Structure 1
Amino acid sequence: MNNTKRVWFDLLFYIAIPYLIWNQGKDIIGDYYAILLSTAPAFVYTIYTFIKDRQFNVTGLFIVITLLARTIIDLISGNAATMLNNQVYFMIGLAVVVLFTIVIKKPIGLYFFVDTAYLMGYKREDSLKLFHQPDLFKMMNWLTVLFAGRYVFLAIVKYVLIQKYGVEGYGNMIVFRQAVTWAFSILIAVYTYFIYKKIQDKTGMDNPMNPNVNE
């Protein structure tokens, strides 16, 4: 799936369909079930891309575990207001978990990067050895901080919207959530580029992620 198609599918499954389900369903099945049902398209789409892209690695495992955990929390919340507040707590909890990987010196951003390198043809053990060099390892820590920052910012935005609009503001939350996600995706992509350039400098290769370098 190219980047243009991915953006359109993201718009469809993360914003358009959830917003439609919420807007049309809240008066029919109630706020709680409308919100619960609106999360289904994003869940199915994410699982589909997980299988399609064969992300059977740390990145994919993290995505699936967080999706399942959030779904379970949503199901046991019992009502719409509790569900939305629980989602705020859940995102803060995710941020804490992600930051904890830095504390134990296993920054999850590093493993996300290893997974990407593997898909490009690099052996995991070679990438792990390279990325554990002090200067690159420090950059991987900051990459992990960016991932955690995304969850914190999402939680803050959702909390503010809950306080201002209550459950009725859920439609706005859908849009703002995706906007924040894209904004941090851009930040992460930019920082990833700097990591990539650093790898180039260290390896002396024009394309350090070219799978042919291992041949």
Structure 2
Amino acid sequence: MQKNIPIFDMIFYFGFPLLIWHFSRNYIGDYYAMLLSSVPGIIYSIIRFILLKKLNFLGLFMISNLVVGTLIDVLSGSAMQLQWNNVYYAYFISFLSFTTIIINRPLYLYFALDFVEMQGYNRKLMKKLYYQKKILRVFKWITFGFTFKEVLLATIKVWLIKKYGVDAFDKGIIIRQIIGWGLSGISFYGFIYISKLLQEQDNNAGNLN
């Protein structure tokens, strides 16, 4: 499933929500169409959480984000308030993400630790390697990229809401996907660079031996 994640993300976070939004809003109203359009993403997120097979940091982040996001949507009460609440929540997530950089616990470093542990690597050893100054700095930049993405998307959504009102909903989905793809590519390069640094260390250690 790992290699198909980008395709599944596009289907469940982009394709299905847009289809449900456009085909259901005239029958059940804007607010309930927004709630219904989030169902595929919720189901997909639950499946990904189950496939992790253990309650690690990434799993806790996914399920917490899912629960809080769903509660915000359900308790909003109206289509317009739902959109504003999502903006506020995005700024809040951005603040938490930036805080992890300040306290030297970058979010994506712990995501990476969960991933390599699932691949069979020793978590404590990898954590020690990841906390080397140069590698830690890269993880901070990757996490900052995530923070910047959330702030940028939330700010664009504020403009969309003010300009288009309820109709900003589908435009927000499209823009989130486009910006998400772009910054995901940058993050992916960051992980490749970290792997390259670790490989160089292994080679240098081998030469010394």
TM-score (norm. length: structure 2): 0.91
1:55–1:196 CA distance, 2 compared to 1 (3 A): farther
Distance 2:120 2:175 in 1: 36
Name the counterpart of 1:42: 41
Q: Distance in 2 between matches of 1:22 and 1:55?
A: 34
Q: Which residue of 2 aligns with 1:59?
A: 58
Q: Contact 2:52–2:59 (CA<8 Å) still a contact in 1?
A: no
Identity of aligned residues (%): 35
Moved more, 196-205 or 133-142: 196-205
* TM superposition shift of 1:82: 0.8
C-alpha distance in 1, partners of 2:202/2:94?
32
CA distance in 2 between partners of 1:156 and 1:78 (Å): 22
* Residue equivalent to 1:13: 12
Map 1:1-215 → 2, pairs under 5 A:
1=1, 3=3, 5-54=4-53, 56-204=55-203
Conservation of the 8 A alpha-carbon contact between 2:157 and 2:168: no
Q: Distance in 1 between matches of 2:111 and 2:10?
A: 24
Instruction: Give the whole-Å Cα distance in 1 for the aligned partners of 2:168 and 2:138.
Output: 37
Q: Secondary structure at the match of 2:120?
A: coil
Stretch deviating more after TM superposition (91-100 or 116-125): 116-125
The residue type paired with residue 173 of structure 2 is I
Per mean C-alpha deviation after superposition, the further-off stretch among 49-58 and 100-109 is 49-58
Q: Which residue number corresponds to residue 207 of structure 2?
A: none
What value does the CA root-mean-square deviation take over the aligned residues?
A: 1.6
Please report how far the alpha carbon of residue 83 of structure 1 lies from its aligned counterpart in structure 2 after TM superposition.
0.7
CA change 1:129–1:63 in 2 (3 A) is same
The one-letter amino acid paired with 1:136 is I
Aligned pair count reads 204
* SS across alignment from 1:122: coil
Q: Is the alpha carbon distance of 1:158 and 1:54 closer, same or farther for their aligned partners in structure 2, counting shifts above 3 Å? A: farther
Q: Structure 1 residue 79: deviation in Å?
A: 0.6
Q: Deviations over 1:115-172 (max 9, x none)?
A: 1211222111101111112222222211211121221122122222212211123222
Deviation at 1:113, TM superposition (A): 1.3
Q: Where does the alignment leave 5 or more consecutive residues of structure 2 unmatched?
A: 205-209
